[in-house]
Amino acid sequence: MRSRLTILMIYCLFLAPLLWAQPQSSRSTGEIELELQRLKVLGSALYIAAHPDDENTAVLAWLANERKVRTGYLSLTRGDGGQNLIGSEKGPLLGMIRSRELLAAREIDGPEQFFTRAIDFGYTKSADEALKIWNHEAVLSDVVWVIRRFRPDVMITRFSPEFGGHGHHIASATLAAEAFEAAADPKRFPEQLKEVDTWQPRRLVWNAWSRALERLGADSADIIEADVGGFNAYLGKSYSELAALSRSEHKSQGFGSSARRGPLPSHFLHTLGAKAGSDLFDGIDLSWGRIPGGKQIEGLIERAIEEFETANPSAILPILAAANQLMEEQNDHPLVANRQRELQRLMLDCAGIWVEAISQKIQVASGSTIPLKLKVVNRSLAEVRVTDIVMPLAGKKKQEAPSAMNQLLAYNTPFETDFELSIPENAEFSQPYWLRKKAGPGLYEVDEQELIGTPENITPWRVGFTLNIAGQPIAAETPIFYRWTDPVHGESYRHLEITPALTISTGSDLMLFPDRDERMVRVRLKSIKAEHKGEVRVHMPKGWTANPAKLKYDFVEAGEEAVHDIAIQRGANAEIGSIRFAVDKSTYLREVIHIDYDHIPIQTWFREAGIKIIPLDIETGTEKIGYIMGSGDDIPDMLREIGYQVDLLEDAMLDNGDLSAYDVIIAGIRAYNTRQRLKFQQPRLMEFVKAGGTFIIQYNTSHRLVTKDLGPYPLKLSRDRVTLEDAPVTILAEGHPLLSAPNPITAADFDGWVQERGLYFPNEWNEKYEALIASNDPGEPAREGSLLYTTYGKGVFIYSGISWFRQLPAGVPGAFRIFVNLVSAKQGSTQK
């Protein structure tokens, strides 16, 4: 048996303040009453799926707010490999967005959020491939770890090994079933048992949909049905309304949802463990009776519910304080530790407590000292005293506030004090913990076991206030924030960020060199420290030179910047590689990447800076290009990189402008899913083709198309895709000028692709279209709809589901050569 102190430390690390968007205010009286009801229940349920958008939000809302069990949602991945409907972020940046969107969803429907280290590497049709790329045992270990810490009575999967479609979906069900048994086996992942105990959930069920149950021929005796559409008077919403709000937080996926009101049946099929009768929690004691001495605690909670006064929540504080004292005596039990933390948060709510720690700076470098302003406000008539203020620094040496404590907090009168915070020299930068180290192809590298499963950083930069409320010491913690007043959004907050002392901005991630002409790159150095000088060495790949090769800097004030222009020269045998910037033999400069959208807090990643440079054997043209941006991609910048003039076309130009000013118009990814006016602009675009222009449409989905008339002749989009980036490609139209001019295309041009070949190909098209290439995943028929070509009037129309939006920003040489051929596809030069 581990010590009580060890259990408390593990628990606090698992649930310590994460990256809240702002200081936490007190909950409403309706929310307090609901939380009191939840406090009576000791049951728990863990919902498991593969991606941030896989959860059944109505079920989650029902579990957390109707059944009032502690509810968790475990998403194996962060959605890094999907598409983005609000911007051009991909990969880890998209994973950051989706992680935060999922946390926003949880704030609405109620459960806690967890992740494994698995990377969403894109669509796969094989669960075996997913488990191989992820490292089956490593991800299983993560799932077991979450189960052992969360200790669910019931586990629920969104998919089954037979029904899921996506290989990640099926793999999530497989891993859940394996972890259901492995979590209880002391021989599985025994290294975890230093910090947690084994745990056996009571049952595992599949949250199935009706058609799947019909196809499976499931026995009705194995199915539990629950109505998850009920109304919650405390929240003033039904669970389906909460689900719609929660689902709509997935904005990067375009998952805005309308509420369904009325009954909403949900089905649960028995998978493993003890079979339930008519209720998910059959045979499970959800009361405090499952804890020795728990009945007395339960009695106090029931009394608090009975005596709760909407107009005076603080009246029940003495009762809650008595319950806290009893929980303290039982705190070595994990279930009690969880409920005690919730009880103490409830006591802070009833007392209307506000705590804040405000930094005068938003960014500081390690080794610095910064002033903080601390504030506590008691907005109730209860007697509350401040007895201690500390900064735990995630288990490191505490820094104690110098103020004299045992300070009585008068009603609605702020208690304020100043504090000097010392940032250690070895402090971690303020960035997502899973991005601190270079990831593998399928798994993020995370060294700290206690971080695995957590949705975001457990910030060490927080202040802990110990308050005496009704005679009990109650902990109130808050991260350290920077605060300002935005002229549009009003009071705004950002977390204190620990940054590198020197950062660099390169302005570009990729440079292409189709010839040996010297090219200039401008970099910007920024110092976070005052009195900071030194030099940066420019490291070049083999066959390249940089002038200057050293960048000197001498900053007087913090926040100063210096601009340097570097001449890059391609040599005779230049290799593909990256320019890197070093301050010593092992330390490379980092660039600051901010993700800033209104619906989620600003996020920062200090990514190691580098510019990928590619010697490119390519012939380009002089076409002037108009680009219709869809959901967001980097294709315009990539085309400019190789010398094209590209203008972004807004609705006014597409409605009334002179399109003949362009040789080529390109529709970005999902333009016909996101640009509503394209339905009305399509006839003008077809006239542009008819008059001699080239029009290229990149991939769209069949869902929510603004028009089905994408081309001059009929074609039908499907869900056909080729998920293997190295799937063999067959050229169907040998000698076709589109595959030969101005760049002759060979099999080598399809080497080195990333993530996938393409997606959402047409599977039906008019005979006037010509399919130019074919590819397929193993065991599937050839998919010939990835690149369709036709002439119309004097011009050329091309539809392509090839994932150019991934290949070009990744610097795939062959993809550039093929795409330039598409741009050069004038009818006179491409007729067979």
Who's near 245: CB < 8 A, 6+ residues apart? 108, 109, 237, 259
Q: Position 756: which residue type?
A: E
Quick check: bond before 742 cis, omega within 30? yes
- 770 burial via Cβ count (<10 Å: 0-12, 13-18, 19+): middle
Nearest by Cα to 819 from 828, 827, 809: 809
Given CA atoms 252, 254, 255, 260 in this order, what sign does their dihedral have?
positive
Non-local CB neighbours of 125 within 8 Å, separated by 6+ positions = 166, 167, 723, 777, 780
Do residues 44 and 69 touch, judged by C-beta distance below 8 A?
yes
Question: CA-CA distance, 756 to 634, in Å (whole number)?
Answer: 17
Nearest-angstrom CA–CA distance, 62 and 229 = 8
DSSP codes joined into one string, 612-680:
EEEE--------EEEEE--S--SHHHHHHHTT-EEEE--HHHHHHS-GGG-SEEEE-TTHHHH-TTHHH
The 10 Å Cβ neighbour count of residue 612 is 17
Phi, psi for 475 (deg, rounded to 5): -85, 130
The predicted-structure confidence for 168-195, as pLDDT tens digits, reads as follows: 999 999 999 999 999 999 999 999 999 9
d(CA 177, CA 155): 9
Q: How many Cβ atoms sit within 10 Å of the Cβ of residue 437?
A: 11
Does the pLDDT value for residue 13 go beyond 50?
no
User: Would you say 52 and 255 are in contact if contact means Cβ atoms under 8 Å apart?
Assistant: no
| DSSP state at residue 187 | T
Q: How far apart are CA 541 and CA 509, in angstroms?
A: 15
- What is the mean predicted confidence (pLDDT) over 426-433? 93
Token pair belonging to 692 = 């001699």
pLDDT at residue 21, as a whole number: 66
Amino acid at 487: P
Phi and psi angles of residue 750, each rounded to the nearest 5 degrees, phi first: -105, 10
d(CA 758, CA 550): 42
- Distance, in Å, from the CA atom of 427 to the CA atom of 458, rounded to the nearest integer, reads 13
Residue 412 has pLDDT above 80, yes or no: yes
Averaged over 739-764, what is the pLDDT? 96
Segment 109-123 shows an average pLDDT of: 95
Side chain identity at residue 797, one-letter code: F
Residue of higher predicted confidence among 709 and 459: 709
Predicted confidence band at 3 (pLDDT cuts at 50, 70, 90)? very low
Quick: pLDDT tens for 770-792. 999 999 999 999 999 999 999 99
pTM given for the model: 0.90
Q: Give residue 216's pLDDT band: very low, low, confident or very high (50, 70, 90).
A: confident
Is the pLDDT confidence value at 515 over 60?
A: yes
3-state secondary structure of 477: strand
Mean pLDDT of 505-531: 94
Sign of the C-alpha dihedral computed for residues 275, 277, 281 and 282 taken in this order: negative
Q: Is 65 exposed, middle or buried (0-12, 13-18, 19+ CB in 10 A)?
A: buried
Residue 10 pLDDT greater than 70, yes or no:
no
To 10 degrees, what angle do helices 317-329 and 294-307 make?
Answer: 170
* DSSP three-state, residue 360: coil
Q: Write out the H or E segment, with its range, that includes residue 458.
A: none
β-bridge pairing 353-359 and 481-486: parallel
174 φ/ψ angles, rounded to the nearest 5 degrees: -60, -45
Q: Span 357-362, mean pLDDT?
A: 94
580 neighbors 537 (Cβ within 8 angstroms): no
Full 3-state SS string of 754-768: CCCCEEEEEEEECCC
How far apart CA 346 and CA 35 sit, in angstroms, is 7
**Nearest of 523, 819, 796 to residue 642 by alpha carbon:** 819
Read off the pLDDT band of 14 (50, 70, 90). very low
Residue 293: per-residue pLDDT: 87
Q: If residue 592 lies in a helix (H) or strand (E), which one and from where to where?
A: strand 590-595
Instruction: Evaluate if residue 106 carries a pLDDT over 90.
Output: yes
Strand positions, DSSP E, 767-829:
770-771, 773-775, 787-792, 795-800
- Check pLDDT > 80 for residue 382: yes
d(CA 351, CA 26): 8
Give dist(CA 67, CA 228) in Å, integer: 10
Q: Take residue 543 and report the two structure tokens written for it.
A: 């066959």
Residue with tokens 């941006």: 629
Output the pLDDT for position 420. 86
Distance separating alpha carbons of residues 118 and 139, to the nearest angstrom: 6
Q: How confident is the model at residue 458 (pLDDT cuts 50, 70, 90)?
A: confident
Q: Give the model's confidence band at 20: pLDDT under 50 very low, under 70 low, under 90 confident, else very high.
A: low
For residue range 610-644, list pLDDT tens digits in order.
999 999 999 999 999 999 999 999 999 999 999 99
Residue-level length of the chain: 832
pLDDT for 830 beyond 50: no
Q: What is the mean pLDDT of residues 579-594?
A: 93
**pLDDT-based confidence at residue 165 (cuts at 50, 70, 90):** confident
pLDDT of residue 210: 87
Provide the CA 785 distance to its chain's centre, in angstroms. Answer: 31
Measure the CA–CA gap between 90 and 255, rounded to whole angstroms: 18
Query: Which segments within 130-184 are labelled E, that is strand?
Result: 154-157
How much is the pLDDT for 170? Answer: 95
Alpha carbons 116 and 80: distance in angstroms, whole number: 13
pLDDT at 711 over 50: yes
Instruction: For residue 299, give the nearest of 323, 318, 332 by alpha carbon.
Output: 323
Q: Mean pLDDT of all residues in the chain? A: 92
- 656-667 pLDDT, tens digit per residue, is 999 999 999 999
